[in-house]
Amino acid sequence: MANMAQAIRLALHYAETHMDLQDVFGQDVGEPLGGVFTATQGIKSAWNTPLDERGIIGAAIGLALAGDRCVAEIQFCDYIFNTIDLLKYAGNILWSTNGNYNVPMTVMTPVGAGIRGSIYHSHSFDAWATRLPGWKVVMPSSPLDAYGLLLSAIEDPNPVLFLKPKALMRVKGEELIPGEPEDEKTLKSMIDAPLGDRSQWRPQWPSVGKYIIPIGVGKKVQEGTDVTIVTYGRHVHLAQEASRHLQDVSIEIIDLRSLYPYDWGMVKESILKTKRVIFLNEDTEVTNFGEHLSYRTTQELFYTLHAAPRVLAGKNLPGIGLHPVLEENSVPQVEDIVQTVREVVSEVP
C-alpha cells in the first residue's frame, strides 16, 4: 500500500496529466529533493522557488487569477504565518470582487507534531485555517483520503488548504488507490527516487485513476454508541488506538476530513445517538476549531446531551518543546484520550 507521501505524489501526477495542473512549486519541491517529505518527487511540473513564502503564495494567487491551476507548498506550516494576509486576501477575492475573479489554487503544507520537530516544525494550522473565510480546508488521515482530497482541492474553483499531517507521511494505507500496484515494493521501485545520484532517474507512473473525495464530507471510521470523538489527521489514529484500550466503551470516531466546510450532518447524527462528544485535535486549545464545533453542539443539541462537550487539544503554549516529555505533554496523547473518554462517559446528566 502507498504511504501518504506516495499518495500525494500519485495525485499530483494524475492532476498534471489529466486535470491541467500546471505548476507545483515551493522551496525544494523540485529536483533533486522532491520535497522534504518526498511528496513531489518525480512530478514533472514541480519546480523550486526562492526561499520566500510570500512570493510563493503571491505567485499562486497570480497564477490562479490567470486561470492556471497550481499547487503551492509551504515547507512547514510553521513558516506560513508571514503569508497570513495573503491567505486572507485570496479568500476574499471572489467575494470582494462580487464574483469577478475566483482563485482556484491549492496550498499544501505539513502540520502538527509527532516527529520530534521542535518548536518550528511542530505547529498546527487548522484553527488558523478555519479563520480564513473563502478558503476550504482539508486534512487527510490516510493515503487514499490524501489522494482523493488533493484531487478535489485541485479541481475546486476556490482556494483550498491541504494540510498534511507530517507524522503520517510514511504511514501506509489500508486501501488501494485506484490503479495502484498491490505490491508496495513494486510501487516503490516505480515512483521512489533512489538514494544518491538521481540525475538520470525518472519515475514509472502506474496508471492511477480519478478518485474524488468531496470536500465537506466526513468519514465514520468506527461505529459506536457511548461517545463520539470528532477528529481529523493523525489524531484519527490516536483515537482508534485509545479505543483499543477502552474495550468496555463503545466509541464512534468521525474523521472530519474537511474542516471547512464541515460535515455537520454526520457529527449531529452521531451526537444524537451517543449523546456525548469529544472534539479532538492538536492545535492550541484557546480559540480552537473544536471550540466552534463544541459551541454549535451546545446551541443545537444541548438538551439531548448527557455530558458536557469536551475539546481535547494542544496546550496553549508558544511552541512544542523538542524533548519527548515536552512534546508529549503539549499535544493530546493516547492516554489523554483514554482519560477524557472515561471522564465523559462517567458523567451523569
Q: Which residues are near other proteins by CB under 8 A?
A: 22-23, 49-50, 52, 54-55, 57-68, 70, 85-86, 89, 93-102, 104, 133-134, 136, 156-158, 216, 260-265, 292, 296
Q: Name which of 65 and 322 has its Cβ closer to other proteins.
A: 65
Q: Name which of 23 and 291 has its Cβ closer to other proteins.
A: 23
Q: Name which of 136 and 276 has its Cβ closer to other proteins.
A: 136
The strand pairing partners of 26, in sequence order, are 48, 73
Please list, in sequence order, all residues whose beta carbon lies within 8 angstroms of the beta carbon of residue 226, skipping any fewer than 6 positions away. Answer: 249, 250, 251, 274, 276, 345
Please, what is the minimum distance in Å from the beta carbon of residue 107 to other proteins? 13
Please, what is the minimum distance in Å from the beta carbon of residue 235 to other proteins? 21
The strand pairing partners of 174, in sequence order, are none
As to burial, measured by CB atoms within 10 angstroms (0-12 exposed, 13-18 middle, 19+ buried), residue 157 is exposed
Please, what is the minimum distance in Å from the beta carbon of residue 217 to other proteins? 11
Q: Which amino acid is at 175?
A: E
Please list, in sequence order, all residues whose beta carbon lies within 8 angstroms of the beta carbon of residue 153, skipping any fewer than 6 positions away. Answer: 71, 106, 108, 136, 138, 160, 162, 215
Alpha-carbon 42 to chain mean position: 22
Q: Name which of 6 and 109 has its Cβ closer to other proteins.
A: 109
Other CB atoms closer than 10 Å to residue 182's CB: what's the count?
Answer: 8
Please, what is the minimum distance in Å from the beta carbon of residue 260 to other proteins? 8
Q: Name which of 257 and 292 has its Cβ closer to other proteins.
A: 292
Q: Name which of 157 and 209 has its Cβ closer to other proteins.
A: 157
User: What are the respective helix, strand and coil percentages of the chain, to the nearest 5?
Assistant: 40, 20, 45
Alpha-carbon 125 to chain mean position: 10
Please, what is the minimum distance in Å from the beta carbon of residue 225 to other proteins? 24
Please, what is the minimum distance in Å from the beta carbon of residue 59 to other proteins? 4
Q: Name which of 181 and 216 has its Cβ closer to other proteins.
A: 216
Please, what is the minimum distance in Å from the beta carbon of residue 271 to other proteins? 14
Angle value at C-alpha 126, between 53 and 344, nearest 5 degrees: 160
